Structure 1
Amino acid sequence: MFVVTRDEEKCEGCGECVEACPAGILELVDGKVRITDETACLGCETCVTVCPTGAITIQEV
């Protein structure tokens, strides 16, 4: 299982990760990314790759 998290201070709300996530677990709320279901992450790291500020991390648990 994978858990995705974001660093609120680093997130600029560009939405790149939201568009790239194949699991559809990310959304923009008030200019910041919100994770709708941390445990539904597929672990593909697409969001990590496209995030220009390094705000997204994925950990395997």
Structure 2
Amino acid sequence: MSTWSGPFDPDPEGEDTHLVLENAEGRLSLWPTWREVPPGWSARFGPAPYEACAATLEPGRAQT
């Protein structure tokens, strides 16, 4: 089993490691905070822990 962690994997719980980005078409993307936000996208939620950001992408979940 590998212990390698990719750039989009959750980090330790409670750390603000991710953003939810939105583009002009209303598409959403889960994005790590260490990466520069690409042109045409803006932060819609976060920075926040991975789980909080992922929850905003689930249908029917309210965003806070």
TM-score, reference length from structure 1: 0.29
Whichever of the two has the greater Rg, that structure is 2
- Higher RCO (C-alpha 8 Å, min separation 6): 1
TM-score, reference length from structure 2: 0.28
Which has the larger share of helix?
1
